Structure 1
């Protein structure tokens, strides 16, 4: 898929992988829309940048989603690529008084259920395009759960499963391609609590890998150590699980 001259929406793109992806895509002549829940953060993110429009929107709120679809339809008239990047995570371990239910509820709503709704609401716009794609950002934890982010891992595993079925379903009667980005630990605000600042790869590298993967029509885009861990998981699941949980 050629990523130039397209209209592209990236959720949760006020910083990190989302923002770096937006910058790279804008430099290739695309019209990029970024969303997030914090207007001041979005405003600061797009200062001095061309071809990027910020729209405040909370994907977990049905009315916000409705307004986002209406606004993009009215202001842009089309949508070629939807990148589902928004996510939340809680760092904790299962056990007494961990409040796992409350944490899991928020993570599953944001990281999984809201993605299903957003994709469905944008299908009419995407289906009208000659070239269109949906990108779901999961993680290496979608197949190798990590004990200190247990229900975040669950939410990404659910999103991975959904991505596979969505891809197969849309391939039957639409031209919409469905991609999955599976990064390892990345150095962003999002991962500071689990060592991303020290051990994570730069988000710009993940953003570039995503764009390269889409342009090369790689349905599952494994980045950096994620590919090595996936290969190890295929041959020795327990060893891979022990490594990622060190």
Structure 2
């Protein structure tokens, strides 16, 4: 699809992967709308972006999802791309009965999965009015294999992955709407600091890969180490009837 002249909403766009994507797409001549919970952080991010505005709000809350979707419809009628990037993750020791594992999992599932489904459904009618539109879901290398440090986060991203595949199949015959999934590995961001993010790739690498994928209409977007796993698994899963 086109990579210039779009109106793009990016959740979690004030820092990390979301900000790197906002910067890449802003520099490329697109109108950017960043979202996040922290107004001060959003305003600081805007100082480094051209042709960008911010909408503060917490997409894990139903009322905020509805309010933001209404604001996009009223103030940004040309919206044609949404990037569902906002996420939640906890180190979750399942061997510790006092770890409150279920509550952590609930927050991850709500933010990383349920809220994406609801928000996407709210803005979908607006996207379908456009001549060229896209939904981009940021998942993770964790969709392919969980681990003992992030078992419930991995499960929430696996759910997002499955939903994204179903969403893509739903609109397979609609040549005006494309559905992308980005699979970052460990990325060096504040979000991943607790799990050794300093050893990860720069967030700009994720943004660069997404930009190239948009240019090529490449709907599956593995990044970094995820490419090796994706190259092994995707040809097999694509043979499963869907």
**TM, length-normalised to structure 2:** 0.93
Counterpart-to-counterpart distance in 2, 1:65 and 1:219: 25
Query: Is 1:22 aligned to 2:36, yes or no?
Result: no
Q: Structure 2: 5+ residue runs without aligned partners? A: 236-242
Which residue of structure 2 aligns with residue 53 of structure 1?
Answer: 53
Counterpart-to-counterpart distance in 1, 2:131 and 2:18: 25
Q: Structure 1: 5+ residue runs without aligned partners? A: 236-246
Give how far 1:49 is off: 2.6
- 1:161 alignment partner, SS class: helix
1:1-246 alignment to 2 at 5 Å? 1-95=1-95, 96-173=97-174, 175-197=176-198, 199-231=199-231
Structure 1 residues 43 and 234: alpha-carbon distance in aligned structure 2, compared to 1, 3 A threshold = closer
Counterpart-to-counterpart distance in 1, 2:31 and 2:128: 18
Give how far 1:230 is off: 3.2
8 Å CA contact retained: 2:27, 2:49: no
Give how far 1:234 is off: 7.3
- 1:171 alignment partner, SS class: coil
Counterpart-to-counterpart distance in 2, 1:153 and 1:71: 32
- 2:18 alignment partner, SS class: helix
Which residue of structure 2 aligns with residue 243 of structure 1?
Answer: none
Structure 1 residues 2 and 174: alpha-carbon distance in aligned structure 2, compared to 1, 3 A threshold = closer
Counterpart-to-counterpart distance in 1, 2:60 and 2:49: 27
- 2:191 alignment partner, SS class: helix
- 2:171 alignment partner, SS class: helix
- 2:179 alignment partner, SS class: strand
8 Å CA contact retained: 1:90, 1:152: yes
**TM, length-normalised to structure 1:** 0.91
Counterpart-to-counterpart distance in 1, 2:59 and 2:132: 24
Give how far 1:174 is off: 6.2
Give how far 1:171 is off: 2.0
Counterpart-to-counterpart distance in 1, 2:232 and 2:92: 26
* Pairwise CA RMSD: 1.5
